[in-house]
Each structure stands twice: as C-alpha cells, then as structure tokens.
Structure 1
Amino acid sequence: MSGPEQPRRSGLRDPQRAVRGLGAATLTLEALVLLLAIQPIRVVGGDLGGTAIGAVVALAVVAVVLAGLIRRPWAWNAGTVLQGLLMLSGLLHWSLLVLGVIFALVWGYALHVRRVILG
C-alpha cells in the first residue's frame, strides 16, 4: 500500500496562527526583558551609557513592531537580524551579548518549531 505521501498534520486547528503567536510572544518577551534589564545592568555592570541605553530601547521598540508584523513572512527574517543586532550591541556592554545569545537560541527554537509545523 504505497500511495501518495500525506503531509504531516500538526494537530493544531490553525497552525499558521499558532506559529505567529509563538513568534510574537518571543519578540514581545524579548522587548520586555530588554527594557527591564536596563536598570540592573546600570547598577551591577556600571558602564551602561546613554548610547547603550538608546540602543537597548531601540531594539526593544523594533522587537515590539516586529511582533505586530509577524504575519508578514519577511518579519521572521527581520527577527533573525534583530537577534544579530542584539548580539552586536554586546560591543556596548557584555551583558547585552549574553542577552543576545540567549534570545538568539530562543528565536532559533521558534524558527525550528515554525519549520516543523508549517513545513
């Protein structure tokens, strides 16, 4: 009995919506963590200047905007670029590199889930 291979079903009612929700939640959480991390980094780490704070706020705003635009296919690629920019901001303060690596791993997992569910 070898018939045409059926596409894998995820069991989700609306897989597109579920994947978009995962991407939006990931980006929103990233924005929240970035904004909440400013003060502890300043207190513990010291040298977080105005440029670094501006970069963190800008990255958080971009993350929120991308979370709202996650329906667009290019937003997933832009989210990947955002992770690279966050890691690059590690040049301003080492803790931003740590956050960048953590969120790059989380984003990579979200991309993996997207690929598995949507094919």
Structure 2
Amino acid sequence: MSEGVEEEPVRPPDPRRAFRGPASACLVLEAIAVPLVLPVMNYVEGGITAAKLALVVVLTVGMIVGCVVILKPWGLRFAVGLQILMLLGWVLSPSLGLMGLIFCLVWGLMLWMRREVIRRQEAWFAAQ
C-alpha cells in the first residue's frame, strides 16, 4: 500500500444496484423498439392516429428518461409504470399492446431474478 493513499472500504455486492445495468439496457432496447411499431400501425391497423402517435412518442421519451432515472430510488417503479402503460396501449393499438405484453414478460423475469438474488444473498449473509 502506498503512503498517503487510502483504500475505500469494500462494500458487499448489492443486487439492487447490479440490477440497474440490465434494467437500463432493457429500456434502451425498448426505446429503439417502440417507434418501430409505427409502420405496423400504419399498414396493419389502417393508419396512425394522433393518439397512437402521441402514445408512441410518450413511451419512447419515457424509456429514454427511464435509463437515467433508474438510478433513483423510485426509478424501478417508473420503469414498471412504463411497462404497464405500454401494455394498456392495447386499447389504442393491438400491435403496441402485444409488444407491451412481451416486454412485461421480460421485466417480470428480470424482477423475479432480482428478487431471487436478493433472497439468496440475504440467506447467505444470515448463515455467516
């Protein structure tokens, strides 16, 4: 150890913090995928209405903002809220709702894995 250089204390791994990377990556993928539903809306659903376009824009901007706010304590609730909003988009656009269903399943799996890691880590630390 060099003189005058202090080492930071080692903190145990935190699965809550580790989850932020995959959650942010998923939001980036969604921000890319959501606007791609516009051509489907145009050709399959008979056109793009102002409400459909507004929902796609709100979701896309929300996903981009979600990449940043996922670092906040309320960021996970924000991201899950976006998933619910996208799923409820089924009312305006079945293709957007289907995409919402797929991403809700992805988020459900990610949240289940997060909870399982937290449970196992707490059990491991309790055994120590």
The normalised TM-score by structure 1 is 0.79
- Structure 2: 5+ residue runs without aligned partners? 1-12, 120-128
- Alpha-carbon contact 1:48-1:93 (below 8 Å) kept: no
Amino acid at match of 2:76: W
What is the aligned length?
107
CA–CA distance in 2 between the matches of 1:47 and 1:80?
A: 28
Alignment of 1:56-75 (within 5 A): 56-75=56-75
Asked if 1:114 is matched to 2:114, the reply is: yes
TM-align CA RMSD: 1.8
Amino acid at match of 2:87: M
Alignment of 1:5-44 (within 5 A): 15-44=15-44
Task: Indicate the SS of the match to 2:74.
Answer: helix
**Identity over aligned residues, as a percent?**
36
CA–CA distance in 2 between the matches of 1:106 and 1:24?
A: 13
Structure 2 counterpart of 1:3: none
Q: Runs of 4+ in structure 1 displaced over 4 angstroms?
A: 13-17
CA–CA distance in 1 between the matches of 2:73 and 2:108?
A: 16
Amino acid at match of 2:61: V
CA–CA distance in 1 between the matches of 2:104 and 2:81?
A: 10
CA apart distance, 1:15: 4.5
Structure 2 counterpart of 1:82: 82
- Alpha-carbon contact 2:37-2:96 (below 8 Å) kept: no
Asked if 1:101 is matched to 2:101, the reply is: yes
CA–CA distance in 2 between the matches of 1:109 and 1:73?
A: 20
Structure 2 counterpart of 1:45: 45
CA–CA distance in 2 between the matches of 1:113 and 1:71?
A: 19
- Structure 1: 5+ residue runs without aligned partners? 1-12
In 2 relative to 1, CA 67–118 (structure 1 residues): closer, same or farther, beyond 3 Å?
farther
CA–CA distance in 1 between the matches of 2:87 and 2:118?
A: 28
Highest RCO, 1 vs 2 (Cα 8 Å, sep ≥ 6)? 1
